[in-house]
Structure 1
Amino acid sequence: MSEQLEQVYREFLAMKPELVNDFEAALAPGAPKTPAPAPEEVRRRYDIEERQVAGFGVQILHPRQGGSGIQAVYFHGGAYTLPFLELHWPIVVGLADRTGADLWIPHYTPSPDATVDDALPFIDALALTVPEAAGDHRYIVSGESAGGNMALVQTLRARDNGTRLPDHLVIHAPWVDLRTCDPKSLEMEDIDALMIVDQLHRAARNWSGAREITDPMVSPLFADLSGLPPITVLQGTNDLLLPDVLTFVDRAREQGAEVELELVEGAFHVYIGVDTPESQRSLDLAAERFRGSA
Protein backbone atom coordinates (compact mmCIF):
# COMPACT_ATOMS: atom_id res chain seq x y z
CA MET A 1 0.00 0.00 0.00
CA SER A 2 1.41 3.39 -0.98
CA GLU A 3 1.71 6.16 1.59
CA GLN A 4 -0.93 8.12 -0.32
CA LEU A 5 -3.44 5.26 -0.22
CA GLU A 6 -2.77 4.59 3.46
CA GLN A 7 -3.33 8.25 4.31
CA VAL A 8 -6.60 8.45 2.37
CA TYR A 9 -7.72 5.14 3.87
CA ARG A 10 -7.14 6.47 7.40
CA GLU A 11 -9.04 9.64 6.56
CA PHE A 12 -12.04 7.64 5.32
CA LEU A 13 -11.94 5.41 8.41
CA ALA A 14 -12.07 8.52 10.57
CA MET A 15 -15.08 9.76 8.59
CA LYS A 16 -16.89 6.41 8.68
CA PRO A 17 -19.34 7.32 11.51
CA GLU A 18 -20.42 10.39 9.53
CA LEU A 19 -20.71 8.36 6.31
CA VAL A 20 -22.80 5.72 8.09
CA ASN A 21 -25.12 8.43 9.42
CA ASP A 22 -25.50 9.91 5.94
CA PHE A 23 -26.35 6.51 4.52
CA GLU A 24 -28.88 5.93 7.29
CA ALA A 25 -30.66 9.13 6.27
CA ALA A 26 -30.65 7.98 2.63
CA LEU A 27 -32.43 4.75 3.61
CA ALA A 28 -35.55 6.75 4.49
CA PRO A 29 -38.32 7.01 1.86
CA GLY A 30 -38.38 10.33 0.06
CA ALA A 31 -34.89 11.41 1.12
CA PRO A 32 -33.51 14.02 -1.33
CA LYS A 33 -31.02 12.45 -3.73
CA THR A 34 -29.73 14.88 -6.31
CA PRO A 35 -26.83 13.68 -8.49
CA ALA A 36 -23.60 15.62 -7.97
CA PRO A 37 -23.17 18.25 -10.70
CA ALA A 38 -20.26 18.06 -13.10
CA PRO A 39 -17.27 20.10 -11.90
CA GLU A 40 -16.50 23.17 -13.98
CA GLU A 41 -13.22 21.64 -15.15
CA VAL A 42 -15.17 18.72 -16.62
CA ARG A 43 -17.57 21.06 -18.39
CA ARG A 44 -14.65 22.89 -19.96
CA ARG A 45 -13.25 19.74 -21.54
CA TYR A 46 -16.41 17.75 -22.32
CA ASP A 47 -19.73 18.42 -23.96
CA ILE A 48 -22.29 16.97 -21.55
CA GLU A 49 -25.43 15.77 -23.30
CA GLU A 50 -28.58 15.35 -21.22
CA ARG A 51 -30.81 12.62 -22.61
CA GLN A 52 -33.88 10.63 -21.60
CA VAL A 53 -33.82 6.86 -22.09
CA ALA A 54 -36.97 4.94 -21.14
CA GLY A 55 -38.01 7.90 -19.00
CA PHE A 56 -34.77 8.09 -17.01
CA GLY A 57 -32.04 10.70 -17.20
CA VAL A 58 -28.70 9.90 -18.80
CA GLN A 59 -25.66 12.16 -19.04
CA ILE A 60 -23.21 11.50 -21.86
CA LEU A 61 -19.69 12.90 -21.74
CA HIS A 62 -18.53 13.66 -25.27
CA PRO A 63 -14.81 14.46 -25.56
CA ARG A 64 -14.20 17.76 -27.34
CA GLN A 65 -10.87 16.44 -28.61
CA GLY A 66 -9.48 12.97 -29.25
CA GLY A 67 -12.76 11.06 -29.33
CA SER A 68 -12.29 7.36 -30.12
CA GLY A 69 -15.87 6.40 -30.94
CA ILE A 70 -15.93 3.91 -28.04
CA GLN A 71 -19.30 3.97 -26.26
CA ALA A 72 -19.18 3.05 -22.58
CA VAL A 73 -21.87 2.84 -19.92
CA TYR A 74 -20.82 3.59 -16.34
CA PHE A 75 -23.32 2.52 -13.67
CA HIS A 76 -22.61 4.28 -10.38
CA GLY A 77 -22.70 2.55 -7.02
CA GLY A 78 -24.07 3.52 -3.63
CA ALA A 79 -25.78 0.30 -2.48
CA TYR A 80 -28.76 1.17 -4.72
CA THR A 81 -29.53 3.88 -2.17
CA LEU A 82 -27.30 6.85 -3.02
CA PRO A 83 -27.27 8.98 -6.17
CA PHE A 84 -24.26 9.72 -8.37
CA LEU A 85 -21.76 11.30 -5.97
CA GLU A 86 -18.88 13.75 -6.28
CA LEU A 87 -16.58 10.74 -5.74
CA HIS A 88 -17.81 9.25 -9.03
CA TRP A 89 -16.69 12.13 -11.25
CA PRO A 90 -12.95 11.31 -11.03
CA ILE A 91 -13.75 7.75 -12.08
CA VAL A 92 -15.80 8.53 -15.18
CA VAL A 93 -13.50 11.38 -16.22
CA GLY A 94 -10.43 9.23 -15.60
CA LEU A 95 -11.85 6.59 -17.93
CA ALA A 96 -12.95 9.10 -20.57
CA ASP A 97 -9.60 10.92 -20.50
CA ARG A 98 -7.70 7.68 -21.02
CA THR A 99 -9.89 6.25 -23.77
CA GLY A 100 -11.60 9.05 -25.68
CA ALA A 101 -14.85 7.18 -25.06
CA ASP A 102 -18.29 8.71 -24.90
CA LEU A 103 -19.24 7.94 -21.29
CA TRP A 104 -22.93 7.25 -20.62
CA ILE A 105 -23.95 7.87 -16.98
CA PRO A 106 -27.42 6.43 -16.21
CA HIS A 107 -29.30 8.06 -13.33
CA TYR A 108 -31.60 5.31 -12.09
CA THR A 109 -33.96 6.01 -9.18
CA PRO A 110 -32.41 4.76 -5.92
CA SER A 111 -34.25 2.68 -3.33
CA PRO A 112 -36.34 2.75 -1.22
CA ASP A 113 -38.25 4.89 -3.73
CA ALA A 114 -37.66 2.33 -6.49
CA THR A 115 -36.79 -1.34 -6.86
CA VAL A 116 -34.92 -3.48 -9.36
CA ASP A 117 -38.16 -3.99 -11.32
CA ASP A 118 -38.42 -0.25 -11.87
CA ALA A 119 -34.87 -0.20 -13.26
CA LEU A 120 -35.02 -3.22 -15.59
CA PRO A 121 -36.82 -1.48 -18.50
CA PHE A 122 -34.19 1.28 -18.30
CA ILE A 123 -31.38 -1.30 -18.32
CA ASP A 124 -32.89 -3.05 -21.35
CA ALA A 125 -33.30 0.24 -23.21
CA LEU A 126 -29.65 1.14 -22.59
CA ALA A 127 -28.62 -2.29 -23.87
CA LEU A 128 -30.18 -1.33 -27.22
CA THR A 129 -29.41 2.39 -27.37
CA VAL A 130 -25.71 2.42 -26.50
CA PRO A 131 -24.60 -0.36 -28.91
CA GLU A 132 -26.56 1.37 -31.66
CA ALA A 133 -24.54 4.51 -30.97
CA ALA A 134 -21.33 2.47 -31.00
CA GLY A 135 -21.90 1.03 -34.46
CA ASP A 136 -18.59 -0.52 -35.54
CA HIS A 137 -16.75 0.87 -32.51
CA ARG A 138 -16.22 -0.86 -29.20
CA TYR A 139 -19.04 -0.97 -26.66
CA ILE A 140 -18.20 -1.28 -22.96
CA VAL A 141 -20.30 -1.74 -19.83
CA SER A 142 -18.77 -0.83 -16.49
CA GLY A 143 -19.59 0.23 -12.96
CA GLU A 144 -18.65 -0.05 -9.31
CA SER A 145 -20.32 -1.64 -6.28
CA ALA A 146 -24.08 -1.68 -6.94
CA GLY A 147 -23.20 -0.30 -10.37
CA GLY A 148 -21.02 -3.34 -10.97
CA ASN A 149 -24.06 -5.46 -10.13
CA MET A 150 -26.15 -3.45 -12.60
CA ALA A 151 -23.48 -3.82 -15.31
CA LEU A 152 -23.65 -7.58 -14.86
CA VAL A 153 -27.47 -7.59 -14.89
CA GLN A 154 -27.57 -5.58 -18.12
CA THR A 155 -25.12 -7.97 -19.77
CA LEU A 156 -26.95 -11.06 -18.57
CA ARG A 157 -30.22 -9.71 -19.92
CA ALA A 158 -28.63 -8.75 -23.24
CA ARG A 159 -27.30 -12.30 -23.56
CA ASP A 160 -30.73 -13.77 -22.82
CA ASN A 161 -32.54 -11.26 -25.06
CA GLY A 162 -30.20 -11.84 -27.99
CA THR A 163 -29.00 -8.23 -28.17
CA ARG A 164 -25.41 -7.13 -28.66
CA LEU A 165 -23.09 -7.98 -25.81
CA PRO A 166 -20.47 -5.50 -24.66
CA ASP A 167 -16.95 -6.11 -25.90
CA HIS A 168 -15.75 -6.05 -22.31
CA LEU A 169 -17.17 -5.75 -18.80
CA VAL A 170 -15.09 -3.68 -16.38
CA ILE A 171 -16.42 -3.78 -12.83
CA HIS A 172 -15.00 -2.53 -9.55
CA ALA A 173 -15.92 -4.18 -6.24
CA PRO A 174 -19.25 -5.44 -7.63
CA TRP A 175 -22.00 -6.13 -5.11
CA VAL A 176 -22.75 -9.55 -6.58
CA ASP A 177 -24.59 -11.14 -3.63
CA LEU A 178 -27.01 -8.78 -1.89
CA ARG A 179 -27.31 -11.20 1.02
CA THR A 180 -23.77 -10.10 2.11
CA CYS A 181 -23.81 -13.13 4.38
CA ASP A 182 -20.27 -14.51 4.16
CA PRO A 183 -18.97 -14.54 7.78
CA LYS A 184 -15.70 -13.07 6.54
CA SER A 185 -17.55 -9.93 5.44
CA LEU A 186 -18.77 -9.29 8.98
CA GLU A 187 -15.26 -9.92 10.30
CA MET A 188 -13.96 -7.26 7.88
CA GLU A 189 -16.45 -4.61 8.93
CA ASP A 190 -13.97 -2.77 11.18
CA ILE A 191 -11.39 -2.39 8.40
CA ASP A 192 -13.94 -1.38 5.77
CA ALA A 193 -13.79 2.39 5.43
CA LEU A 194 -17.33 2.96 4.18
CA MET A 195 -19.84 0.22 4.91
CA ILE A 196 -21.55 -1.77 7.63
CA VAL A 197 -23.36 -5.02 6.94
CA ASP A 198 -26.65 -4.14 8.65
CA GLN A 199 -27.21 -1.17 6.36
CA LEU A 200 -26.37 -3.27 3.30
CA HIS A 201 -28.97 -5.82 4.37
CA ARG A 202 -31.67 -3.16 4.59
CA ALA A 203 -30.63 -1.60 1.29
CA ALA A 204 -30.80 -5.05 -0.30
CA ARG A 205 -34.33 -5.67 0.93
CA ASN A 206 -35.41 -2.28 -0.41
CA TRP A 207 -33.91 -2.85 -3.85
CA SER A 208 -35.11 -6.43 -4.28
CA GLY A 209 -38.77 -5.44 -3.84
CA ALA A 210 -41.00 -8.43 -4.55
CA ARG A 211 -38.08 -10.60 -5.68
CA GLU A 212 -36.00 -12.97 -3.60
CA ILE A 213 -32.54 -11.70 -2.70
CA THR A 214 -31.09 -14.67 -4.59
CA ASP A 215 -32.93 -13.80 -7.80
CA PRO A 216 -30.19 -13.39 -10.45
CA MET A 217 -31.54 -9.94 -11.34
CA VAL A 218 -30.89 -8.94 -7.73
CA SER A 219 -27.76 -10.98 -7.02
CA PRO A 220 -25.89 -11.93 -10.23
CA LEU A 221 -23.79 -14.42 -8.26
CA PHE A 222 -26.75 -16.82 -8.71
CA ALA A 223 -27.08 -16.31 -12.46
CA ASP A 224 -25.94 -18.59 -15.25
CA LEU A 225 -22.60 -16.89 -15.92
CA SER A 226 -21.78 -18.66 -19.16
CA GLY A 227 -21.65 -16.87 -22.49
CA LEU A 228 -20.50 -13.53 -21.08
CA PRO A 229 -17.85 -11.29 -22.65
CA PRO A 230 -14.43 -10.93 -21.01
CA ILE A 231 -14.66 -9.44 -17.51
CA THR A 232 -12.10 -7.39 -15.60
CA VAL A 233 -12.69 -7.05 -11.87
CA LEU A 234 -10.89 -4.38 -9.82
CA GLN A 235 -11.00 -5.16 -6.12
CA GLY A 236 -9.36 -3.90 -2.93
CA THR A 237 -8.49 -6.17 -0.01
CA ASN A 238 -9.85 -3.80 2.69
CA ASP A 239 -13.39 -4.07 1.38
CA LEU A 240 -16.01 -6.26 3.05
CA LEU A 241 -17.40 -7.21 -0.36
CA LEU A 242 -14.12 -9.03 -1.08
CA PRO A 243 -15.27 -12.54 0.00
CA ASP A 244 -18.31 -12.47 -2.28
CA VAL A 245 -16.29 -11.02 -5.17
CA LEU A 246 -13.77 -13.86 -4.88
CA THR A 247 -16.64 -16.37 -4.87
CA PHE A 248 -18.08 -14.71 -7.98
CA VAL A 249 -14.74 -14.83 -9.82
CA ASP A 250 -14.33 -18.54 -9.03
CA ARG A 251 -17.90 -19.35 -10.00
CA ALA A 252 -17.73 -17.40 -13.27
CA ARG A 253 -14.47 -19.08 -14.25
CA GLU A 254 -15.95 -22.51 -13.47
CA GLN A 255 -18.79 -21.68 -15.90
CA GLY A 256 -16.37 -20.77 -18.67
CA ALA A 257 -16.20 -16.98 -18.28
CA GLU A 258 -12.91 -15.21 -18.98
CA VAL A 259 -12.30 -13.22 -15.79
CA GLU A 260 -9.28 -11.07 -14.96
CA LEU A 261 -8.96 -10.13 -11.28
CA GLU A 262 -6.89 -7.11 -10.26
CA LEU A 263 -6.55 -7.46 -6.49
CA VAL A 264 -5.15 -4.31 -4.86
CA GLU A 265 -3.56 -4.80 -1.44
CA GLY A 266 -4.84 -2.40 1.20
CA ALA A 267 -7.33 -0.69 -1.10
CA PHE A 268 -10.75 0.19 0.25
CA HIS A 269 -14.18 0.22 -1.38
CA VAL A 270 -14.26 2.61 -4.36
CA TYR A 271 -10.57 3.49 -3.96
CA ILE A 272 -10.54 4.32 -7.68
CA GLY A 273 -12.41 7.54 -6.88
CA VAL A 274 -9.42 9.06 -5.03
CA ASP A 275 -6.04 10.11 -6.40
CA THR A 276 -3.47 7.51 -5.37
CA PRO A 277 -0.91 5.46 -7.33
CA GLU A 278 -3.16 2.42 -6.90
CA SER A 279 -6.23 4.15 -8.32
CA GLN A 280 -4.27 5.49 -11.28
CA ARG A 281 -2.89 2.02 -12.09
CA SER A 282 -6.36 0.50 -11.85
CA LEU A 283 -7.83 3.18 -14.11
CA ASP A 284 -4.97 2.56 -16.56
CA LEU A 285 -5.83 -1.14 -16.63
CA ALA A 286 -9.54 -0.42 -17.02
CA ALA A 287 -8.78 1.94 -19.91
CA GLU A 288 -6.70 -0.75 -21.63
CA ARG A 289 -9.68 -3.06 -21.49
CA PHE A 290 -11.99 -0.31 -22.80
CA ARG A 291 -9.67 0.10 -25.79
CA GLY A 292 -9.19 -3.63 -26.30
CA SER A 293 -5.54 -3.69 -25.32
CA ALA A 294 -4.19 -7.01 -24.10
Structure 2
Amino acid sequence: MTSEIDELRKLFAAQPRPTNWTERRARMDEICAIDPPPDDVAFSPVDIGSLPAEWSQAPGSDAARVLLYFHGGGYCSGSIRSHRAMVGAVGKLAGIRTLAVGYRLAPEHPYPAARDDALAAWRFLRSQGYAPQSIAIGGDSAGGNLTLATLVALRETGEAMPAAAWLVSPWSDLTMSGATLDSKAAVDPLISRDYLAGLAEAFLAGHDARDAAVSPLFADLAGLPPTLVQVGSSEVMLDDAVGIARALGAAEVPVALEIWPRMIHAWMVWSARLADGRAGLDRAATWLRGQLARGIRTD
Protein backbone atom coordinates (compact mmCIF):
# COMPACT_ATOMS: atom_id res chain seq x y z
CA MET A 1 0.00 0.00 0.00
CA THR A 2 1.40 3.39 -0.97
CA SER A 3 1.77 5.77 1.95
CA GLU A 4 0.80 9.44 2.02
CA ILE A 5 4.41 10.54 1.97
CA ASP A 6 5.13 8.28 -1.03
CA GLU A 7 2.23 9.86 -2.90
CA LEU A 8 3.66 13.28 -2.14
CA ARG A 9 7.05 12.20 -3.44
CA LYS A 10 5.38 11.13 -6.71
CA LEU A 11 3.82 14.57 -6.97
CA PHE A 12 7.23 16.22 -6.71
CA ALA A 13 8.72 13.89 -9.31
CA ALA A 14 5.91 14.42 -11.84
CA GLN A 15 7.52 17.51 -13.35
CA PRO A 16 11.14 18.31 -14.21
CA ARG A 17 13.08 20.57 -11.87
CA PRO A 18 12.98 24.25 -12.89
CA THR A 19 16.21 25.77 -14.13
CA ASN A 20 15.99 29.52 -13.46
CA TRP A 21 14.76 31.82 -10.69
CA THR A 22 11.48 32.69 -12.39
CA GLU A 23 10.62 29.04 -12.94
CA ARG A 24 11.73 28.08 -9.44
CA ARG A 25 9.52 30.72 -7.84
CA ALA A 26 6.52 29.76 -9.94
CA ARG A 27 7.06 26.06 -9.23
CA MET A 28 7.36 26.61 -5.48
CA ASP A 29 4.17 28.65 -5.37
CA GLU A 30 2.41 25.98 -7.42
CA ILE A 31 3.54 22.93 -5.47
CA CYS A 32 3.35 24.46 -1.99
CA ALA A 33 -0.08 26.00 -2.57
CA ILE A 34 -1.56 22.87 -4.14
CA ASP A 35 -4.06 22.62 -1.28
CA PRO A 36 -6.19 25.59 -0.18
CA PRO A 37 -5.98 27.10 3.30
CA PRO A 38 -8.73 26.41 5.85
CA ASP A 39 -11.92 27.94 4.48
CA ASP A 40 -12.87 29.61 7.78
CA VAL A 41 -9.61 31.55 8.10
CA ALA A 42 -9.78 35.18 6.97
CA PHE A 43 -6.72 36.61 5.20
CA SER A 44 -6.13 40.32 4.75
CA PRO A 45 -3.16 42.03 3.09
CA VAL A 46 -1.22 44.82 4.78
CA ASP A 47 1.71 46.91 3.58
CA ILE A 48 4.59 47.60 5.95
CA GLY A 49 6.02 50.49 4.01
CA SER A 50 6.86 48.79 0.70
CA LEU A 51 6.94 45.34 2.34
CA PRO A 52 3.93 43.09 1.61
CA ALA A 53 2.49 41.10 4.50
CA GLU A 54 -0.72 39.24 5.30
CA TRP A 55 -2.78 38.83 8.44
CA SER A 56 -4.72 35.65 9.09
CA GLN A 57 -7.26 34.93 11.77
CA ALA A 58 -9.83 32.19 12.36
CA PRO A 59 -13.13 32.80 14.14
CA GLY A 60 -12.67 32.83 17.90
CA SER A 61 -8.89 33.34 17.73
CA ASP A 62 -7.20 35.73 20.14
CA ALA A 63 -6.19 38.81 18.15
CA ALA A 64 -4.04 39.96 21.08
CA ARG A 65 -1.46 37.23 20.37
CA VAL A 66 0.33 36.79 17.07
CA LEU A 67 2.77 34.56 15.19
CA LEU A 68 5.15 36.49 12.94
CA TYR A 69 6.04 34.03 10.15
CA PHE A 70 8.86 33.94 7.59
CA HIS A 71 8.44 31.50 4.68
CA GLY A 72 11.11 29.16 3.37
CA GLY A 73 12.58 28.95 -0.11
CA GLY A 74 16.32 29.31 0.36
CA TYR A 75 16.05 33.10 0.49
CA CYS A 76 15.47 32.98 -3.28
CA SER A 77 11.87 31.77 -3.64
CA GLY A 78 8.75 31.19 -1.59
CA SER A 79 6.06 33.73 -0.84
CA ILE A 80 3.06 34.57 1.28
CA ARG A 81 1.00 32.50 -1.16
CA SER A 82 3.20 29.41 -1.01
CA HIS A 83 2.86 29.13 2.78
CA ARG A 84 -0.64 30.54 3.26
CA ALA A 85 -2.28 27.19 4.03
CA MET A 86 0.36 26.22 6.59
CA VAL A 87 0.39 29.59 8.32
CA GLY A 88 -3.39 29.89 8.37
CA ALA A 89 -3.73 26.36 9.74
CA VAL A 90 -1.27 26.76 12.60
CA GLY A 91 -2.82 30.09 13.57
CA LYS A 92 -6.27 28.51 13.63
CA LEU A 93 -5.06 25.57 15.71
CA ALA A 94 -3.21 27.80 18.14
CA GLY A 95 -6.14 30.22 18.38
CA ILE A 96 -3.97 33.23 17.53
CA ARG A 97 -3.50 35.76 14.76
CA THR A 98 -0.65 35.41 12.25
CA LEU A 99 1.35 37.86 10.18
CA ALA A 100 3.15 36.36 7.18
CA VAL A 101 5.87 38.48 5.57
CA GLY A 102 6.86 38.65 1.89
CA TYR A 103 10.46 39.67 2.49
CA ARG A 104 12.73 40.58 -0.42
CA LEU A 105 14.42 37.70 -2.25
CA ALA A 106 17.90 37.04 -3.58
CA PRO A 107 19.65 37.26 -5.96
CA GLU A 108 17.99 40.63 -6.63
CA HIS A 109 18.12 41.45 -2.92
CA PRO A 110 20.92 39.56 -1.16
CA TYR A 111 21.90 39.69 2.51
CA PRO A 112 20.98 41.69 4.58
CA ALA A 113 17.72 42.66 2.79
CA ALA A 114 15.64 39.82 4.27
CA ARG A 115 16.85 40.51 7.80
CA ASP A 116 16.10 44.22 7.40
CA ASP A 117 12.58 43.34 6.25
CA ALA A 118 12.10 40.96 9.17
CA LEU A 119 13.09 43.68 11.63
CA ALA A 120 10.71 46.09 9.89
CA ALA A 121 7.91 43.56 10.42
CA TRP A 122 8.81 43.26 14.11
CA ARG A 123 8.76 47.04 14.49
CA PHE A 124 5.38 47.12 12.73
CA LEU A 125 3.89 44.69 15.24
CA ARG A 126 5.29 46.72 18.11
CA SER A 127 3.79 49.87 16.59
CA GLN A 128 0.42 48.09 16.48
CA GLY A 129 0.53 47.69 20.24
CA TYR A 130 1.80 44.13 20.54
CA ALA A 131 4.04 43.61 23.53
CA PRO A 132 7.03 41.29 22.95
CA GLN A 133 5.54 38.60 25.19
CA SER A 134 2.45 38.53 22.95
CA ILE A 135 4.50 37.69 19.84
CA ALA A 136 6.02 34.41 18.64
CA ILE A 137 8.37 34.31 15.65
CA GLY A 138 8.64 31.31 13.34
CA GLY A 139 9.74 30.10 9.95
CA ASP A 140 10.69 27.07 7.89
CA SER A 141 13.99 26.39 6.12
CA ALA A 142 15.49 29.80 5.23
CA GLY A 143 12.63 31.27 7.24
CA GLY A 144 14.02 29.43 10.25
CA ASN A 145 17.41 30.98 9.53
CA LEU A 146 15.74 34.38 9.30
CA THR A 147 13.89 33.80 12.57
CA LEU A 148 17.17 33.18 14.38
CA ALA A 149 18.93 36.09 12.67
CA THR A 150 16.09 38.39 13.71
CA LEU A 151 16.20 37.21 17.31
CA VAL A 152 19.96 37.69 17.55
CA ALA A 153 19.66 41.19 16.03
CA LEU A 154 16.95 42.11 18.54
CA ARG A 155 19.05 40.89 21.45
CA GLU A 156 22.10 42.78 20.23
CA THR A 157 20.11 46.03 20.19
CA GLY A 158 18.83 45.40 23.70
CA GLU A 159 15.21 44.79 22.75
CA ALA A 160 12.96 42.50 24.73
CA MET A 161 12.59 39.01 23.30
CA PRO A 162 9.33 37.61 21.91
CA ALA A 163 7.62 34.84 23.83
CA ALA A 164 8.82 31.98 21.63
CA ALA A 165 10.48 30.83 18.41
CA TRP A 166 9.25 28.04 16.13
CA LEU A 167 11.71 26.52 13.66
CA VAL A 168 10.62 24.04 10.99
CA SER A 169 13.42 22.29 9.06
CA PRO A 170 15.71 25.27 9.77
CA TRP A 171 18.70 26.06 7.55
CA SER A 172 21.16 27.02 10.26
CA ASP A 173 24.54 26.48 8.61
CA LEU A 174 25.29 28.09 5.24
CA THR A 175 28.79 26.59 5.29
CA MET A 176 26.94 23.29 4.76
CA SER A 177 29.07 21.22 7.11
CA GLY A 178 26.31 18.81 8.19
CA ALA A 179 26.93 15.13 7.48
CA THR A 180 23.28 14.53 6.54
CA LEU A 181 23.72 16.69 3.45
CA ASP A 182 25.30 13.55 2.03
CA SER A 183 23.94 10.71 4.16
CA LYS A 184 20.30 11.70 3.49
CA ALA A 185 20.79 12.68 -0.16
CA ALA A 186 19.15 9.51 -1.48
CA VAL A 187 15.93 9.99 0.51
CA ASP A 188 15.43 13.78 0.32
CA PRO A 189 13.17 14.51 -2.69
CA LEU A 190 13.47 18.29 -2.47
CA ILE A 191 16.92 19.49 -1.38
CA SER A 192 20.47 18.60 -2.42
CA ARG A 193 23.91 19.92 -1.56
CA ASP A 194 24.37 21.45 -5.02
CA TYR A 195 20.97 23.11 -4.86
CA LEU A 196 21.73 24.61 -1.45
CA ALA A 197 25.11 25.81 -2.66
CA GLY A 198 23.46 27.78 -5.45
CA LEU A 199 20.96 29.32 -3.04
CA ALA A 200 23.68 30.26 -0.58
CA GLU A 201 25.78 31.85 -3.30
CA ALA A 202 22.86 33.97 -4.49
CA PHE A 203 21.89 35.04 -0.98
CA LEU A 204 25.39 35.74 0.32
CA ALA A 205 26.63 37.61 -2.77
CA GLY A 206 30.19 37.30 -1.51
CA HIS A 207 29.41 37.58 2.20
CA ASP A 208 31.26 35.06 4.39
CA ALA A 209 29.06 32.02 5.06
CA ARG A 210 30.88 31.52 8.37
CA ASP A 211 29.52 34.83 9.70
CA ALA A 212 27.13 34.09 12.55
CA ALA A 213 24.72 36.67 11.10
CA VAL A 214 23.98 34.31 8.20
CA SER A 215 24.84 30.96 9.83
CA PRO A 216 23.16 31.12 13.25
CA LEU A 217 24.63 27.74 14.17
CA PHE A 218 27.77 29.73 14.98
CA ALA A 219 26.02 32.63 16.75
CA ASP A 220 25.93 33.48 20.41
CA LEU A 221 22.40 32.27 21.16
CA ALA A 222 22.26 33.18 24.84
CA GLY A 223 19.11 34.97 25.88
CA LEU A 224 16.93 33.77 23.02
CA PRO A 225 13.36 32.73 23.86
CA PRO A 226 12.07 29.17 24.29
CA THR A 227 12.33 27.41 20.94
CA LEU A 228 10.60 24.46 19.27
CA VAL A 229 12.56 22.76 16.47
CA GLN A 230 10.72 20.31 14.19
CA VAL A 231 12.44 18.40 11.40
CA GLY A 232 11.88 15.28 9.29
CA SER A 233 14.22 12.31 9.39
CA SER A 234 14.38 12.23 5.56
CA GLU A 235 16.00 15.65 5.19
CA VAL A 236 19.50 16.53 4.10
CA MET A 237 19.24 19.42 6.55
CA LEU A 238 18.54 17.14 9.51
CA ASP A 239 21.94 18.04 10.97
CA ASP A 240 21.12 21.75 10.65
CA ALA A 241 18.11 21.23 12.90
CA VAL A 242 19.83 18.92 15.37
CA GLY A 243 22.84 21.22 15.47
CA ILE A 244 20.87 24.37 16.21
CA ALA A 245 18.87 22.59 18.91
CA ARG A 246 22.15 21.48 20.50
CA ALA A 247 23.59 24.99 20.25
CA LEU A 248 20.47 26.53 21.77
CA GLY A 249 20.55 24.07 24.62
CA ALA A 250 24.24 24.71 25.23
CA ALA A 251 23.41 28.43 25.44
CA GLU A 252 20.85 27.67 28.21
CA VAL A 253 17.89 28.37 25.93
CA PRO A 254 14.85 26.16 26.66
CA VAL A 255 14.55 24.07 23.49
CA ALA A 256 12.47 21.12 22.31
CA LEU A 257 13.58 19.05 19.32
CA GLU A 258 11.20 16.79 17.39
CA ILE A 259 12.44 14.47 14.62
CA TRP A 260 9.53 13.08 12.62
CA PRO A 261 10.21 9.66 11.01
CA ARG A 262 10.09 9.54 7.19
CA MET A 263 9.01 13.15 6.94
CA ILE A 264 10.57 15.41 4.32
CA HIS A 265 11.66 19.02 4.27
CA ALA A 266 8.97 21.38 5.64
CA TRP A 267 6.40 18.55 5.41
CA MET A 268 3.79 20.56 7.30
CA VAL A 269 3.30 22.73 4.19
CA TRP A 270 1.34 19.75 2.83
CA SER A 271 -0.66 19.01 5.99
CA ALA A 272 -3.90 18.73 3.99
CA ARG A 273 -2.61 15.43 2.56
CA LEU A 274 -0.28 14.24 5.33
CA ALA A 275 -1.56 12.99 8.68
CA ASP A 276 1.89 13.66 10.15
CA GLY A 277 1.70 17.16 8.73
CA ARG A 278 -1.51 17.79 10.64
CA ALA A 279 -0.07 16.19 13.75
CA GLY A 280 3.07 18.32 13.48
CA LEU A 281 1.06 21.51 13.16
CA ASP A 282 -1.12 20.49 16.08
CA ARG A 283 1.95 19.89 18.25
CA ALA A 284 3.40 23.25 17.22
CA ALA A 285 0.10 25.03 17.85
CA THR A 286 -0.24 23.53 21.32
CA TRP A 287 3.32 24.56 22.15
CA LEU A 288 2.86 28.10 20.79
CA ARG A 289 -0.40 28.52 22.67
CA GLY A 290 1.34 27.53 25.90
CA GLN A 291 4.26 29.88 25.36
CA LEU A 292 1.94 32.78 24.56
CA ALA A 293 -0.43 32.04 27.43
CA ARG A 294 0.94 34.87 29.56
CA GLY A 295 1.24 37.35 26.72
CA ILE A 296 -0.59 40.65 27.14
CA ARG A 297 -1.29 43.17 24.43
CA THR A 298 -0.73 46.79 25.48
CA ASP A 299 -2.68 49.55 23.73
Contact map agreement 1:144 1:172 (CA 8 A) in 2 = yes
Deviation string 1:240-275 (CA, Å, 9 cap, x unpaired) is 100122122112211211110011111111111223
> Is 1:272 equivalent to 2:233 in the alignment?
no
Moved more, 10-19 or 86-95: 10-19
Q: Secondary structure at the match of 2:62?
A: coil
Structure 1 length as normaliser, TM-score? 0.86
Contact map agreement 1:138 1:291 (CA 8 A) in 2 = no
Moved more, 100-109 or 225-234: 100-109
Instruction: In structure 1, give the amino acid aligned to 2:288.
Output: F
2:296 is aligned to none
Q: How does 1:22-37 map to 2 (within 5 A)?
A: 22=18, 24-26=19-21
1:189 is aligned to 185
The match for 1:288 among 282, 286, 289 is 286
Q: How far off is 1:211 after superposition? A: 1.7
Deviation string 1:15-47 (CA, Å, 9 cap, x unpaired) is 55566722x322789x76996799997596344
Distance 2:46 2:230 in 1: 29
Q: How does 1:162-181 map to 2 (within 5 A)?
A: 162-181=158-177
The match for 1:79 among 74, 90, 99 is 74
The match for 1:236 among 232, 235, 238 is 232
Moved more, 251-260 or 234-243: 251-260
Q: How does 1:140-155 map to 2 (within 5 A)?
A: 140-155=136-151
1:121 is aligned to 116
Point out the structure with the larger helix share.
Answer: 1
Runs of 4 or more, structure 1, over 4 Å off, are: 15-20, 31-44
Q: Secondary structure at the match of 1:82?
A: coil
2:96 is aligned to 101
Deviation string 1:124-178 (CA, Å, 9 cap, x unpaired) is 2222222443238621101111111111111111111122311010110100011
Contact map agreement 2:151 2:224 (CA 8 A) in 1 = yes
Contact map agreement 1:128 1:163 (CA 8 A) in 2 = no
Distance 1:249 1:104 in 2: 25
Moved more, 11-20 or 49-58: 11-20
Contact map agreement 2:223 2:253 (CA 8 A) in 1 = yes
Contact map agreement 2:65 2:135 (CA 8 A) in 1 = yes
Q: Secondary structure at the match of 1:204?
A: helix
Moved more, 247-256 or 63-72: 63-72
Distance 1:85 1:287 in 2: 19
Distance 2:235 2:168 in 1: 11
> Is 1:220 equivalent to 2:216 in the alignment?
yes
- Structure 1 residues without counterparts, runs of 5 or longer: none
- Structure 2 residues without counterparts, runs of 5 or longer: 294-299
1:67 is aligned to 62
Distance 1:217 1:170 in 2: 18
Instruction: In structure 2, give the amino acid aligned to 1:116.
Output: Y
Moved more, 70-79 or 124-133: 124-133
Instruction: In structure 2, give the amino acid aligned to 1:58.
Output: A
Instruction: In structure 2, give the amino acid aligned to 1:159.
Output: R
Structure 2 length as normaliser, TM-score? 0.85
Moved more, 6-15 or 56-65: 6-15
Distance 1:40 1:238 in 2: 22
Q: Secondary structure at the match of 1:141?
A: strand
Q: Secondary structure at the match of 2:17?
A: helix
